[in-house]
């Protein structure tokens, strides 16, 4: 009976009520006081909730210098003053905020890089396939948003070309699909003035091989498209009003077909025109045509053209930096 009492009084069993436990312990024969079990906790115990302090906000990432790859660069973008620039390979983005003295990796994420740009405030944007738009601000903080589905560049098609431009708070992205057979497939222009929260999308009116986009301070845009067909090649400049939903149908044709062209910081178009080569000629002749923002063909001095040249450029997969504008 003594052993049975102990088993029944084992606190882990809890078979007897608390009143019985106290009575048996005081009157039970030969039960040492040292073996008296500790008082059992109440059957319905209340556990007080402990509130943990909120963790401190994450500090913005530091601009840790990173070595640049020797080759493999596919594009570069820079601010108007040249102090902030972004160069990218197929998967990595490198940013400098001290005129190229040091570079750091930024906006790392899965997906191939379709394009990048730097606005007037030094904010670096990158578009990663399929529709991820990342932004790195001047203090190093980063944010990610989603591009409209209509302008999604296809990662499996190398011919889809993405270019971008910025002016003030306005940023614009141009996606050109040379294989597009309909108006919906030809390409799109996507414009935003709040870093990608709200978008205005405009279809391209024609199928083009490639294109460029330029923005004005009020959000108006100009789109330069290299149009191609079975019977002709042409270069047209389309205008887009600040709040319009369609490009102006009356495009302006450049006088000659340029092989290369770019918009400078003041909205001028610098076009390189190469005359066709013939067997009797030793080399092809090339000249530069310049068009002001009103698309009037003008001639400017070489110094004026060189002053608007970008600080950074990519040649043969290598990133180059002009130490002086020449």
pLDDT of residue 53: 55
> In this prediction, what percent of the chain has a pLDDT beyond 70?
71
Helix (H/G/I), strand (E/B), else coil: 33: helix
Span 14-29, mean pLDDT?
A: 46
Identify which has the larger pLDDT, 23 or 315: 315
What does the block give as tokens for 266?
Answer: 């003041």
* DSSP characters over 184-229: HHHEEEEEESSTTSS-EEEE-SS-EEEEEEEE-TTS-EEEEEEEE-
CA distance from start to end of the chain? 108
Q: Name the least confident of 20-29, 89-98, 101-110, 169-178.
A: 20-29
Pick from 194, 203, 145, 186: nearest CA to 168:
194
């Amino acid at each position: 009976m003594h052993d049975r009492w102990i088993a029944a009084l084992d606190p882990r069993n809890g078979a007897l009520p608390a009143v019985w436990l106290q009575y048996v312990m005081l009157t039970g024969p030969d039960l040492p006081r040292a073996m008296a079990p500790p008082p059992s906790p109440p059957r319905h115990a209340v556990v007080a909730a402990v509130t943990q302090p909120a963790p401190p906000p994450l500090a913005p990432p530091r601009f840790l210098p990173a070595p640049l790859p020797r080759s493999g660069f596919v594009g570069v973008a820079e601010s108007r003053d040249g102090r902030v620039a972004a160069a990218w390979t197929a998967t990595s983005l490198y940013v400098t905020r001290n005129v190229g003295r040091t570079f750091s990796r930024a906006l790392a994420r899965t997906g191939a890089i379709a394009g990048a740009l730097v606005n007037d405030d030094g904010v670096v944007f990158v578009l990663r396939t399929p529709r991820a738009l990342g932004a790195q601000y001047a203090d190093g903080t980063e944010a990610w948003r989603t591009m409209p589905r209509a302008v999604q560049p296809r990662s499996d098609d190398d011919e889809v070309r993405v270019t971008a431009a910025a002016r003030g708070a306005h940023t614009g992205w141009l996606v050109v699909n040379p294989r597009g057979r309909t108006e919906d497939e030809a390409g799109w222009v996507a414009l935003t003035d709040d870093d990608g929260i709200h978008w205005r999308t405009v279809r391209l009116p024609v199928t083009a091989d490639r294109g460029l986009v330029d923005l004005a301070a009020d959000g108006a845009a100009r789109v330069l498209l290299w149009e191609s067909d079975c019977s002709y090649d042409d270069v047209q400049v389309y205008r887009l009003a600040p709040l319009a939903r369609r490009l102006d149908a009356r495009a302006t044709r450049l006088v000659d077909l340029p092989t290369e062209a770019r918009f400078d910081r003041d909205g001028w178009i610098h076009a390189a025109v190469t005359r066709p080569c013939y067997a009797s000629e030793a080399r092809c002749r090339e000249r530069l045509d310049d068009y002001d923002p009103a698309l009037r063909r003008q001639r400017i001095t070489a110094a004026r053209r060189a002053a608007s040249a970008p600080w950074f450029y990519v040649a043969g997969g290598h990133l180059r930096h002009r130490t002086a504008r020449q």
